[in-house]
Structure 1
Amino acid sequence: MKSLALGIALFSGAASSGAVLEFGAAEPSWYPRNDTVMGGVSSSRVRVGGGVLEFTGQVRLENNGGFAGIRSNPGRFDLSRYSALRLRVRGDGKRYVLQLGTSAQNGVTYRNEFATVAGQWTEVRLALDSLRLTRSGEQVAGPALDPSRVIFFGLTVGNNRAERFALEVDWIRGE
């Protein structure tokens, strides 16, 4: 087992679908990235415990807000041997966004949405070539994702509604 600096353990060959990112009991190295960066007042919390990452909080619309998110601290994730990521999640029926970043400085991420089923564990598959380049949540023109250059993961919720949210992630697998 190789430990990463993100409070995530990487198990090579642990599953038939490739590497598995499982959330261990180590201190989480994730941080909130909410609409407060632009004056909003949404809030989020991230906790890793019992092998699950929990992302919870409140989206608020005041001050042109409307999203809450979390992001892993920068590391190195070479995903070049995979064509997709599969996530095992339990949500609240809301749509969430998975983000991958290749630079901590340019403000762009590659992202795609996924749906959850309230109270049920489900698996979501996102093809890496389905992730679109965005800046501040808006799609922009630019290069396709280079999976060998991923340095962080992120999760975001922003459904243009003031609401509480709760998402659990059991694991993320490359396939």
Structure 2
Amino acid sequence: MNTTLFNFKKDADLSTWQVVDDVVMGGRSSGTFKLNEDGYGEFSGHISLENNGGFSSLQFPFSTISVNPKQVIELYLKGDGKDYQFRVKDKISNSHSYVYPFKTTGEWEIIRIQLSQMTPQFRGRKLQMNAFDQNQIEQLTFLIKNKKQEDFKLELDKIVLVHYYQLLFNTPS
């Protein structure tokens, strides 16, 4: 059985989701997050390069979930054709995240990410550590930072943790 980490629908509680922009470092980017008319999570805004800015992120902390690095996270989403990053933290107190970059097509799609493919980074720098090999996660993040001034929009339907045995037998989620 799969674990739905979050399912966006018209009555979804977004109170624990938080937008963190480059304003924490003096930048001028502005992201917002809401449920749109169709009941999807909508992370959108504007990236500004002013004052050495250039990013916006959407963070979702939660109680510890046990994982196996061979497991896959499925992101059901519709992007705007831009590049994004999906990030996880095994412990919310860690300064580094495990990162997986992906490009959106402008259509609804499923992005499949094996946890062990995610590499550790801190403030955009790759770290000399192993790829994700932990047994838990406590935070998910979507981030846009394409080194250009631009508007962005990412619609989210659901985020699912696929259990390993389903991958072996190619069972649909």
TM-score by length of 2: 0.83
**Matched residues, number:** 158
Report 1 or 2 for greater relative contact order, CA contacts < 8 Å, sequence distance ≥ 6. 2
State the 1:20 CA deviation: 2.5
Which residue of 2 is the match for residue 161 of structure 1? 148
C-alpha distance after superposition, 1:6-43 (max 9, x if no partner): xxxxxxx3xxxx22231242331111111112111111
Matches of 2:40 and 2:144 in 1, distance apart?
Answer: 18
C-alpha distance after superposition, 1:60-109 (max 9, x if no partner): 00111111111013422222385211111101000111010123333210
CA RMSD across the alignment: 1.8
Instruction: Return the match for 2:33 from 21, 46, 70.
Output: 46
Query: 5+ unaligned residues in a row in structure 2: which ranges?
Result: 163-173
Question: Aligned ranges for residues 2-81 of structure 1 at < 5 Å?
Answer: 13=1, 18-21=2-5, 22-24=7-9, 25-28=11-14, 29-48=16-35, 50-80=38-68
State the 1:153 CA deviation: 0.5
Matches of 1:104 and 1:139 in 2, distance apart?
Answer: 18
User: Is the counterpart of residue 107 in structure 1 residue 126 in structure 2?
Assistant: no
Question: Aligned ranges for residues 63-142 of structure 1 at < 5 Å?
Answer: 63-80=51-68, 83-118=71-106, 120-142=107-129
TM-score by length of 1: 0.82
> Structure 1 105/19 Cα, relative in aligned 2: closer, same or farther at 3 Å?
closer
Matches of 2:142 and 2:92 in 1, distance apart?
Answer: 15
Q: Is contact 1:78-1:147 (8 Å) kept?
A: no
Matches of 1:61 and 1:141 in 2, distance apart?
Answer: 28
> Structure 1 145/38 Cα, relative in aligned 2: closer, same or farther at 3 Å?
same
AA at the equivalent of 1:79 = V
State the 1:48 CA deviation: 3.4
